[in-house]
Structure 1
């Protein structure tokens, strides 16, 4: 009964936007029932909402390990792993254009894990542009716009990279 009370208290905390308190209640429920995959999954979601990606990943991996038949756990884990790849790509890009190729590798992995990762397509377009590969840059930005046609920043990048592609094509011809 105590486990159910902790879960109920966790939900109440979430309703009050007190994610730290919710995390504590989920962790207490897990201490009482460590093999309950659902508790680990809920903890992972709460960590993710709190911006704690590493902790969210750890809890999601545990939930999936405990119950690998639950597709919800698998998809959530893949989404978090995609976010982690995006985070790693951003770190590469922050180090400069020389890391663009490495960033693209992370971003390709991100969209493989989560094909709806708009941010990954945007960053991939930027990384390809850093390499002067404007055809790939345009293609990546178009993919982002397919997923979210209202992204003004993507529309601006598409125009910019299309112009660069056009110039590059004419300079070679």
Structure 2
């Protein structure tokens, strides 16, 4: 089977909802045609959907290296990198071992790479609360909700910050 045949098999797997098997077919296509940027890009998209950030990042970067002028590949690489940074920030927050300022570095970089990253705004708002930067937290929570209107936790956080701000104004 050639690379294109593997890609067709990968899409069949995607249609069945078997993303792990699809990734295996994409990897087989890449093995057969390692310099095919499109194969790396398609593999990266499936890896992203499956939360396999390092593999997604690797193949997105490879696609960009093979076709440096391709804006779609470059945009995808930035989005994947931003999602990876948000994922890392969530792990740091969950561990409780890092300081909000350290986590903010990840989130700021994620927001630069992907300005539409609502979750990065939401998590940054939470960090700003811990840092005592309520005005910035309020703006970030509002931005998260604007970017992702279905993000209920951002709307609730925004309301919480408004209440906190009013209480501070009375103190």
In the alignment, what sits opposite 2:105? 105
* Two-structure CA RMSD over aligned residues (Å): 1.6
Deviation at 1:139, TM superposition (A): 1.0
For residues 150 and 47 of structure 1, the distance between their equivalents in structure 2, rounded to whole angstroms, comes to: 24
Deviation at 1:148, TM superposition (A): 2.4
In the alignment, what sits opposite 1:124? 124
Q: 1:125 to 1:74 in 2, by over 3 A?
A: same
Aligned residues: 171
Deviation at 1:92, TM superposition (A): 2.4
In the alignment, what sits opposite 1:161? 161
The list of structure 1 runs, each at least 4 consecutive aligned residues, that deviate by more than 4 angstroms after superposition, is none
In the alignment, what sits opposite 2:114? 114
User: In the TM superposition, what are the counterparts of 1:10-159 in structure 2 within 5 Å?
Assistant: 10-96=10-96, 99-159=99-159
Deviation at 1:152, TM superposition (A): 2.4
In the alignment, what sits opposite 2:4? 4
For residues 6 and 13 of structure 2, the distance between their equivalents in structure 1, rounded to whole angstroms, comes to: 10
TM-score by length of 2: 0.92
For residues 149 and 26 of structure 1, the distance between their equivalents in structure 2, rounded to whole angstroms, comes to: 34
* Structure 1 residue matching 2:75: 3-state secondary structure: helix
- 1:136-172 Cα offsets, whole Å, 9 max, x none, are 110110111221234322221111111212222332x
For residues 130 and 117 of structure 2, the distance between their equivalents in structure 1, rounded to whole angstroms, comes to: 20
For residues 124 and 97 of structure 1, the distance between their equivalents in structure 2, rounded to whole angstroms, comes to: 17
TM-score by length of 1: 0.91
Q: Which runs of 5+ in 2 are unaligned?
A: none
For residues 28 and 37 of structure 2, the distance between their equivalents in structure 1, rounded to whole angstroms, comes to: 14
For residues 162 and 98 of structure 1, the distance between their equivalents in structure 2, rounded to whole angstroms, comes to: 26
Q: Which runs of 5+ in 1 are unaligned?
A: none
Q: 1:57 to 1:49 in 2, by over 3 A?
A: same
